[in-house]
Amino acid sequence: MSNQSNDSNMTEWDLLDERASLVDTGDAFPSGPTSTEAKDAPLAMHPTLGVMHEDSNNSQYGLFGQVIAASSKGTFEFPSEARLYMNCSAPFSALLCGVQGAGKSHTLATMLENLLIPNFRPIGTLEEPMCALVLHYGEGGSSSLPSEVAWLASASQNHDIDLPTVKVYVSPSSIRTMRETYQNALGSKVEVHPLYFSESELDAEAILSMMSIDSTESAPLYIQMVLDRLRKLGENFSCRAFQKELDILKKDLTPVQKGSLDQRLALLQSFLEPRGLRMSARPVRFFRGQLTIIDLSDPFIDADSACGIFNIICRFFTRVDIGDNVGKVLVIDEAHKYLSSSKGGSTELTQRILSMIRQQRHLGMRIIISTQEPTILPPIIIDLCNVVILHRFQSPAWWDHIVKHISADLSIGDAFNHVVRLQTGQSIVFAPSSLSYLRVEGCTASDAGMEMEQKAVKLLGRRYLVCQTRKRLTEDGGSSILTLRGIQ
């Protein structure tokens, strides 16, 4: 008996997108964005918000700033409705770069405000504040300075806003110095805790990461012996069982090998939770509406070791269940201080970030990478970011590194001149999948005998925007840090 449908009114055309037919303009992509493209657009000009939010369940957005100009095949268009919004409902990945003082940290803080401050109409609408994780590494010791992101705990002027809870986790060996550093800057507005890992949450991969051990054939013999012990434990792995195996292994090691192994174990042991710590005494690392800063500024932790710990934290952040409909935000802050593609723990962290960017839709993740030095980033990261925001810089090498991996039409050759001349707070934004409301090139309409340029809602594509970031609702951490340094 045939299973053929009895619906004789249905044809093949009902299963095809009618928008796929070409029109007389010769443009193979003449129509506006699909509903999926509109819903997932990372940025949107104000006239396009209605298109982005046709679905009432997708109505979270935040004011990014204003469009000063939009490129258009060698010329610029100056939109009359200049407001530009972030889409807070969809995952995205963004790269921010620029020299110190160009406005990069201000833009980062503004983006975080949009994702963490709910129900404040002047910047948009956010019904459900997200959970944010910031990775920070800087100079340790008495010269340590707070992460500028921490100033999201302090409102500027008298704004009546629901600020995020800010918790800072630091190296246990520097807890006194770092607690004093943050309290001098922000008082009781932030909580500072030692970063401890319980034995139950550390698996074999985490142990290897903290010990800066990889499984390459070039690893020293004693490292291969450690890996053999781990394989022997298999699914029966635990920190205590691993420690017992190492105690046995050390009997067969030379003094030099034993010293090297103890050095690797020292970092791991310094971050292990004290046995007497009660469950109730553990602060909650990740929570809805909370900004968690992992600040590993410590004279005894080098950049490679910091990357190993950051790698573990990113794994925990990916896996943790914050709750239904609560998005996650990962910020790689001052990435040039610790991230690269060529060494140890940094390589593992880079691969972790790449994996998170590739899976951002499945993870519900927003990823923001902020750096002064874009050349330290593997090109694939720039390729995968769907938003690139360039603040002022003067280096042709930086420009050459970036432009090879963005799709914007830079044939006119003066885009770099615009970057060099940007004022503080201004940026050039490349975001091909964003929604624009600009003139349609080559299309005009006649009105009372006069030719008028047509505008339409389209993807930004190979155009780029020159933007001015909006004012902050929270205090400017950069200015506050200058005050702490005694610079007026």
pLDDT tens, residue by residue, 299-323: 999 998 999 999 999 999 999 999 8
Contact 165, 190 (CB under 8 A): no
Give 430's strand partners: 388
* Exposed/middle/buried for residue 478 (C-beta within 10 Å: 0-12, 13-18, 19+): middle
- Per-residue confidence (pLDDT) for residue 442, from 0 to 100: 58
| Tokens matching residue 455 | 């505008």
In a domain, 162, yes or no: yes
- Average pLDDT of 327-348? 84
| Tokens matching residue 88 | 């807070």
- Per-residue confidence (pLDDT) for residue 278, from 0 to 100: 60
Distance between CA atoms of residues 464 and 410, nearest Å: 9
pLDDT score of 380 more than 50? yes
- Per-residue confidence (pLDDT) for residue 33, from 0 to 100: 87
Q: Are strands 61-72 and 83-87 parallel, antiparallel or unpaired?
A: antiparallel
- Name the average pLDDT for the chain: 86
Into how many domains does the chain fold? 2
Same domain, 456 and 381: yes
In a domain, 309, yes or no: yes
Distance between CA atoms of residues 310 and 345, nearest Å: 9
In a domain, 152, yes or no: yes
Residue ending a domain, among 270, 293, 326, is 270
Residue for token digits 């704004």? Answer: 159
- Per-residue confidence (pLDDT) for residue 187, from 0 to 100: 94
- Average pLDDT of 157-186? 93
- The pLDDT confidence band at residue 341, using thresholds 50, 70 and 90, is low
Count of residues making up the chain: 488
- Per-residue confidence (pLDDT) for residue 111, from 0 to 100: 98
- The pLDDT confidence band at residue 200, using thresholds 50, 70 and 90, is confident
Instruction: Return the H-helix or E-strand segment holding 200.
Output: none
Same domain, 334 and 363: yes
Domain span at residue 231 reads 204-270
Distance between CA atoms of residues 71 and 73, nearest Å: 7
Cβ density class 459-475: b for 16+ within 10 Å, e for less = bbbbbbbbbbbbebbbb
pLDDT score of 23 more than 80? no
HSE (CB half, 13 Å, CA atoms) of 67?
29
Give the CATH number for residue 377.
3.40.50.300
Q: Which of 472, 387, 468 is nearest to 82 (CA)?
A: 468
Contact 360, 366 (CB under 8 A): yes
Same domain, 332 and 437: yes
Contact 366, 115 (CB under 8 A): yes
Q: Which of 138, 134, 251, 273 is nearest to 202 (CA)?
A: 273
Q: Which of 467, 437, 465, 468 is nearest to 70 (CA)?
A: 465
Whole-angstrom CA distances from 75 to 83, 371, 422 are 20, 30, 17
Q: What is the pLDDT of residues 449-473, one digit of tens each?
A: 444 567 889 999 999 999 999 999 9
* Cα-based torsion angle of the residue sequence 44, 50, 52, 58 in order, rounded to the nearest 10 degrees: 120
Same domain, 420 and 307: yes
pLDDT score of 488 more than 90? no
- Average pLDDT of 70-92? 89
Q: Which of 429, 417, 414 is nearest to 70 (CA)?
A: 429
Residue ending a domain, among 270, 292, 319, is 270
Percent of the chain at pLDDT > 90 equals 55
- Per-residue confidence (pLDDT) for residue 378, from 0 to 100: 87
Same domain, 241 and 138: no
Backbone φ, ψ for residue 230 (5° rounding): -65, -45
- Per-residue confidence (pLDDT) for residue 185, from 0 to 100: 93
> CA quadruple 371, 374, 378, 384: dihedral positive or negative?
positive
- Average pLDDT of 121-129? 92
Same domain, 137 and 254: no
Q: What is the pLDDT of residues 259-297, one digit of tens each?
A: 988 988 888 889 998 876 665 567 789 999 999 999 999
Among the listed ranges 169-178, 214-223, 250-259, 397-406, which one has the minimum average pLDDT value? Answer: 214-223
- Average pLDDT of 11-38? 64
Residue type, 190: V
Same domain, 170 and 116: yes
In a domain, 21, yes or no: no
> CA quadruple 137, 138, 144, 146: dihedral positive or negative?
negative
- Per-residue confidence (pLDDT) for residue 449, from 0 to 100: 45
**pTM of this structure:** 0.89
Q: What is the pLDDT of residues 211-250, one digit of tens each?
A: 877 766 567 888 888 889 888 888 888 888 998 999 999 9
More confident residue, 358 or 142: 358
Same domain, 67 and 208: no
Distance between CA atoms of residues 428 and 107, nearest Å: 12
Same domain, 187 and 211: no
Give 387's strand partners: 94
Residue type, 139: E
Percent of the chain at pLDDT > 70 equals 85
- Per-residue confidence (pLDDT) for residue 410, from 0 to 100: 78
